[in-house]
Amino acid sequence: MGREGERVVAGSAERNLFDHIGGSMRTSLILSAFIVAVLGVSSALAQTNVGVSQMRFCTINPGYSIADVVATARGFAWSEETAPGLVMIRNGIAAAGPVGDEQFDFIFEATYPSYADMVEKRTALLQRRAATDGRQGLAGVATCSENVRIRNRRVVALPPGGLDSIQPETAMASTLCELNGATIEDAAALASGFAENLGAAARVRYGGFGGGPGVLLNSRARMDFFFPSFADFGSAMDALNQSPTAPDPDNPISCAVPSLSASYRIHQSASYSSSR
């Protein structure tokens, strides 16, 4: 069953969770550090609305539920030295289909304000691994793939009540779009317009590393819409059905049927809200 959907005790338990969820990222870290140092990615991501997301696809072990996974992840404490700005778990409700041939129950996602911050946090975590007594994390509750997927992430809209109005458990709609010659800026503008009509937060994910063999860089973008609550999602969909928007024939961007997921906020740093 294809599904969409990524807190950690300070010290040993924190390291154990990211050992399990984050896997070995030495190669990725070296590559990211090279990009930051040579290509100036960190300065390109200096704006507060852009950043990077690291995703891992996971399956729930027999005898457990998504509630067990969320409770386990939320049971960890977080260290500002190693924790991402935002951690979410996304569990599919009405999934449009699996990612490639992958089968999973949820996505564990860690969001950083920049590649430089991701490299710094991941390096600090790797340097503390020697003190761990094993890789536990979500072991026993869920199993996550070894391969990490990294995407550039740009927040393009916030709901009327701001980021803090989004409940810890809410509805998220996501659609994969072919740009067909349009730019990421065009996709961001389109997603922003959608979000305004829906009363939702919106982000665009694109580029990055991993997944999609043979896909041209920045030929696609994924639009994600986070509603303040499930009730707000229902109201927005009813309003959309009553007054559907006509397609723009001059817009080359084409988007697939969206997926609907339950989004669970696991951790949010103190600085995340003020920086968005």
Query: What pLDDT is attached to residue 34?
Result: 38
Please work out, in degrees rounded to the nearest 5, the angle formed at the alpha carbon of residue 265 by the alpha carbons of 206 and 4: 50
Question: Using CA atoms, how far apart are residues 13 and 136, in angstroms rounded to an integer?
Answer: 8
Query: What pLDDT is attached to residue 129?
Result: 58
Helix/strand number for the chain, H first, E second: 7, 10
Which residue type, as a one-letter code, is found at position 208?
Answer: G
Which residue type, as a one-letter code, is found at position 231?
Answer: A
Does the pLDDT value for residue 62 go beyond 90?
yes
Which residue type, as a one-letter code, is found at position 114?
Answer: S
- The CA radius of gyration of the chain, in Å to the nearest whole number, is 18
Does the pLDDT value for residue 8 go beyond 60?
no
Instruction: Specify which residues 144 forms β-bridges with.
Output: 58
Average pLDDT over residues 144-171: 94
Question: Using CA atoms, how far apart are residues 78 and 11, in angstroms rounded to an integer?
Answer: 9
- Per residue in 213-259, pLDDT tens? 778 888 999 999 999 999 999 999 999 999 887 788 889 999 999 99
- Which domains, and CATH codes, for the chain? 12-268 (3.30.70)
Output the average pLDDT for the chain: 80
- Per residue in 69-128, pLDDT tens? 999 999 887 788 888 999 999 999 998 765 545 589 999 999 999 999 999 988 887 777
Tokens of 258: 């969206």
